[in-house]
Amino acid sequence: MFKSKSNAANNETLVGSASIIGAGTVITGNIESSGDIRIDGVLKGNVNCKAKILVGPEGVVEGDIIGQQADILGTVTGRIKMNGLLHLHGKANVEGDIHAAKLQIETTVNFNGQCHMGANIVELNPDMAAVVNE
């Protein structure tokens, strides 16, 4: 009885926890997570996250980002696919196509690419569906 309560508490901690790639850290490879991710270092690979993604002002992602919601303040070179809100702000620099249900871009952001919006954008774009299914 007590054991199941502690297991439930541990599961809640894992689901609600955030992973942080700190400044000065360079990771080469893909990341998959069911919790939040904050990137303040460099990631050379793709991110697939079932929660929120934050790329900090000094953060760099060289690859695709797929998730539910994201705040981008740093640099992303690759496609971004969000099922919810994608917020580009600060001095963010995005080089690549965006696929998002909702999008907010501040005037200080540099964005070069195509933007596709709507809840069913993955179904309309077979190339992106292949990326999501990987």
Give the predicted TM-score (pTM) of the model. Answer: 0.78
**pLDDT score of 8:** 47
**pLDDT score of 18:** 86
The string of DSSP letters for the chain reads -HHHHHHHHHHHHHHH-EEEE-TT-EEES-EEESSEEEESSEEES-EEESSEEEE-TT-EEES-EEESEEEE-SEEES-EEEEEEEEE-TT-EEES-EEEEEEEE-TT-EEES-EEESTTHHHH-HHHHHHHH-
Mean pLDDT by 10 residues, the chain (134 residues): 48 65 95 95 96 97 96 98 95 97 96 87 50 48
**pLDDT score of 11:** 45
